[in-house]
Structure 1
């Protein structure tokens, strides 16, 4: 471990020296506990210099294609390609509830050529849910910035009789253990929302985790599982075609894309909330000028009407942040979800 740490520091220093800054030195970005500072920083984003990027950048999505993570990644990858002057390639590396792809980025060289599409499940749930996750969200990454939030929704096959959250809870209490609720992989936002739902409502239901959102949606549309927690992106077409129905959104306020759909809070489960946060990260030790340049490009593109419209069309809400704000967000969310993991004694496979 010590040899690996030294190697990473040497690599980071070499990369920093290759990227000129206004003051002649690069400050390491990310990896700082929330509320702490790495020292005085130059005002505003610092140029990363002509040396970076000189070749394509890989954006790893730690889930199969077709889900909310994949949708968010492809929205920004296209525009970052233009902003950075090099192609940003999306690389789907699913498996292990998102751990495999996330761990790959944690171990990658901190040179700006490997980025991660992070979300609440991988950054704030998995480290406590999986004993062998293999990464620390606070130490192994340099947060770049948030790009969107997306509420989890409770979806149902049209044949499922429940129309409200209160109906689902009543049905579950009338038939303990007999109602199956589909989710995406263990550790993802949909899965953890289902666990939180069970605990908050005090019900006994059978959770059915799928390896990816695509297979989950296929079985839900086919009626093989009657109800599921998931994100909107892969379900929108079926919702419009009325082959799926939305019972409730898990945000505190109604979602603009579904103004007629009630929240869980107002339809049977007061105070309930589960919203996913999406952002970009790099390996810890990535030079600060590179982090700053990507953050500036990310904030600019998310604020455009074109990208904001695409994010909303995928069921999300545009959101920007500084690297420090994203680090604080990860810290808050990790504390929330790890507390649930400990309280319920949850363990990933």
Structure 2
């Protein structure tokens, strides 16, 4: 048998193995790695998705929280995982859209090391203050911040996160001289905001529901294009006179797989995921957490990534946020 015949035989064998692997997918539990802590917005989205995806795949879908390095630790773990559809990534915007603009060393390449499956939901961040801050809107907040210039600190759910960048932009563009305190994930950030360790910050309704309900924190503005159904009385930044495009931003929760995952597996995951996020039941569950449904699908994910990439680059430059 010649070398060409051997190579052809091996190629056929590998193709047959891949086909069998795909046909049997999934043949064990699927893990959704969340590069953020339990109780935050990303964790909530992942667990809601896991419930529905498990029913459709006929296998358990479990959530594994891997925090650290502004979400890059858990994201790197998925980049290095076997590309067989059994380890997937559910991530917020920070490690997907922002990290490569902020950090000098990112241990993965989003475009090369991952397959985009779908965006899951979008959210506008809510500007929230500790209950002791005497501000119910942005006009009152700015007056208070000017009176306490150089003394105010704000929190975020990670160095280089959208919450960090947009908060830093407010501080820098209005010359408020505020100090940033970074947390590993959203839950401890909200906990310290409610406890008064930090005076204000941006976050999602999903993580802040408890503290909002018992009035330990107060929402005063929406960083996004429109008001949220769960907070109809809270005006957007633009409605309150802050028309900068940097205050009119949405962030996404996303689903990705390691590069090299067989196309049939990706297609099945995309199909099931899009059907899940478009279902009436899922839209209702998302709305409770201040999340909006998105068109979904890999093509739209790529399109939005390409469109928002230069916008984020500009925001990073203007805010002055850079990390080693």
- Is TM more than 0.5 here? yes
For residues 269-320 of structure 1, give each alpha carbon's deviation from its aligned partner in whole angstroms, at most 9, with x where no partner exists.
1132132111100011212211110111111111222221111112211223
CA contact (8 A) 2:102 2:322 kept: yes
Corresponding position: 1:19 with 2:19: yes
Number of residue pairs matched by the alignment:
311
Q: Distance in 1 between matches of 2:304 and 2:168?
A: 21
Q: Distance in 2 between matches of 1:15 and 1:181?
A: 54
Q: Which residue of 2 aligns with 1:245?
A: 218
Q: Which residue of 1 aligns with 2:321?
A: 346
Mean CA deviation greater in 150-159 or 91-100: 150-159
CA contact (8 A) 2:127 2:223 kept: yes
Shift of 1:139: 1.6
Q: Which residue of 2 aligns with 1:275?
A: 250
Q: Distance in 2 between matches of 1:15 and 1:159?
A: 64
Structure with higher helix content = 2
TM-score, normalising length from structure 2? 0.89
Q: Which residue of 1 aligns with 2:263?
A: 288
Q: Distance in 1 between matches of 2:294 and 2:19?
A: 29
Q: Distance in 2 between matches of 1:15 and 1:250?
A: 49
Shift of 1:16: 8.4
SS at 1:116's partner residue?
Answer: strand
Q: Distance in 2 between matches of 1:206 and 1:266?
A: 26
TM-score, normalising length from structure 1? 0.83
Q: Which residue of 2 aligns with 1:228?
A: 201
Mean CA deviation greater in 132-141 or 164-173: 164-173
Name segments (4+ residues, structure 1) moved above 4 Å.
Answer: 13-17
Q: Which residue of 1 aligns with 2:300?
A: 325
Unmatched 5+ residue regions in structure 1? 1-9, 21-47
For residues 24-69 of structure 1, give each alpha carbon's deviation from its aligned partner in whole angstroms, at most 9, with x where no partner exists.
xxxxxxxxxxxxxxxxxxxxxxxx9532111111110001111111
Q: Distance in 2 between matches of 1:239 and 1:216?
A: 14
Shift of 1:167: 2.7
Q: Distance in 1 between matches of 2:160 and 2:15?
A: 34
CA contact (8 A) 2:129 2:199 kept: yes
Q: Distance in 1 between matches of 2:311 and 2:200?
A: 25
Mean CA deviation greater in 318-327 or 65-74: 318-327
Q: Distance in 1 between matches of 2:224 and 2:67?
A: 27
Q: Distance in 1 between matches of 2:235 and 2:219?
A: 9
